Structure formats: structure tokens, C-alpha cells
Amino acid sequence: MKASVLGTGMVGLAISSRLAELGHDVMIGTRDPLKSEDKLASKDAAVKVGTFAESAAFGEIVFNATKGAISLEALKLAGEANLNGKVLVDISNPLDFSRGMPPTLLISNTDSLGEQIQRAFPQVKVVKTLNTVTANIMIYPGQTANGDHHMFISGNDASAKAQVVEILKSFGWIHIVDLGDISTARGTEMYLPLWVRLLGALGTGMFNIKIMK
């Protein structure tokens, strides 16, 4: 599978490296490939580097790993024509660090970043997932509690969600809860203020939640 990963931060590097490790053909997208190339090459030489638009055109599936505050801008640079008809896995969170730590949310309650992306790109199949854990757990869930914890998924298109579920399983995820349509991304995005407080209390990001009935 050809995969596009937009964003060269910790999450983008983790996702792109894991996809390459699993045998996928990966291109990571950045605003300035020349500025990022040396850093990215040192992380994983198997991952190609391109602009947001080049990466989006390359991928059969696209992962949005940009910062939530600039996600819509980055996706516009990626180009609607390069995204239309594709599955877009949205990992971003609308965090606002303008007042320092802990961050607040730029979007909440009656909307979500996942929904805003879906509205901005109506022909794209947006699937929200992986935004409730730190990067290492995203790609290797077995590092915490042997993988006995839960990941959530939201999106309007059932076939797109099924495709993303298979990718999550290939990463090692065992328990995946389909919350419903893209509006349910409000819940997972609004979990982030609690996640940040847990990070402070536990002193590590290597944790997740398990649903028990």
C-alpha cells in the first residue's frame, strides 16, 4: 500500500516509520522538504520525503499527523484534488498552547477538528483514531499492559473505518471501539485535557484506558 503521512513531528515520524516497517511504501509530507530531509533520513531511510501536495498525491491512504491548529491549512496545501476519494486518518488534536501548559482546546462541545476536516473536504473519507495515546503506543500498543486497552474510531464511511481497523490491527491493536459517525470525534478530542492531566500525575505518556463492563 502507498501511504502518505502529513507532518514531521513525533507522531508523523512514528507512523511513517511503522508503516514502512510493515512493508508499505511511505512518503512523509512537509511544508519544506529540503529543510526536513536530513532529519527524516536519519530516522528512516525507507521513507520518502515530499511536499504536502506530493505526499497526498502519492498515497492511497493519507494520515494527518500535523498539529491540530494548522491541520486545515496543511490539508489545503496538500490539495483537495490529491485527497478526494481517499481515506484520511486524522490523528490530530485541536490543542491550544498559546497560554502555556496545560493546553486548552481550540474546538469543543458542539464541533470537532475531525468534523471540520470532513466539512472542508466532503469527498474525503475522514476517520478519526489514534489521537488518544502517545506516539509510541499508537504504533506499538503492546508496550502498555500487553495491548490490553482500547482504541477508538470515528467516521461516516463504514468501509473506510474497516480499512483503518485492519491497519490498527497490523500495528498490534486488539481492542477497537467504533464510536459511530465523525461527530463522535468530539468525545475523543475532548478527552485530551484529561490525558494531559494524567501525563502530569503519572509522569509518563505510556498509558491508556481500558473499557470494562
CATH of the domain at 155: 3.40.50.720
Write down the pTM of the prediction. Answer: 0.95
Nearest to 178 by CA among 164, 195, 192, 194: 164
Element (DSSP H or E) covering residue 104: strand 104-105
Q: What angle do CA 78, 140, 195 make, to 5 degrees?
A: 75
In this structure, the number of other CB atoms found within 10 A of the CB of residue 212 comes to 5
Residue 109 lies in a domain: yes
Whole-angstrom distance, CA of residue 84 vs CA of residue 202:
41
Mean pLDDT across the stretch 109-121? Answer: 98
Element (DSSP H or E) covering residue 37: helix 33-43
Mean pLDDT across the stretch 115-135? Answer: 98
In the block, residue with C-alpha cell 463522535: 184
Residue 104 lies in a domain: yes
Please answer whether residues 6 and 64 qualify as being in contact, where contact means their C-beta atoms are separated by less than 8 angstroms: yes
In this structure, the number of other CB atoms found within 10 A of the CB of residue 171 comes to 20
Whole-angstrom distance, CA of residue 212 vs CA of residue 122:
35
Per-residue pLDDT for 38 more than 90? no
Looking at residue 32, its pLDDT comes to 83
Contacts 24+ apart (CB under 8 A), 43-47: 43/13, 43/17, 44/13, 44/16, 44/17, 44/20, 46/20, 47/5, 47/16, 47/17, 47/20
Domain extent at residue 190: 2-202
Residue 207 lies in a domain: no
Residue 125 lies in a domain: yes
pLDDT digit string, tens, across residues 184-213: 999 999 999 999 999 999 999 999 999 999
The count of domains in the chain is: 1
Residue 213 lies in a domain: no
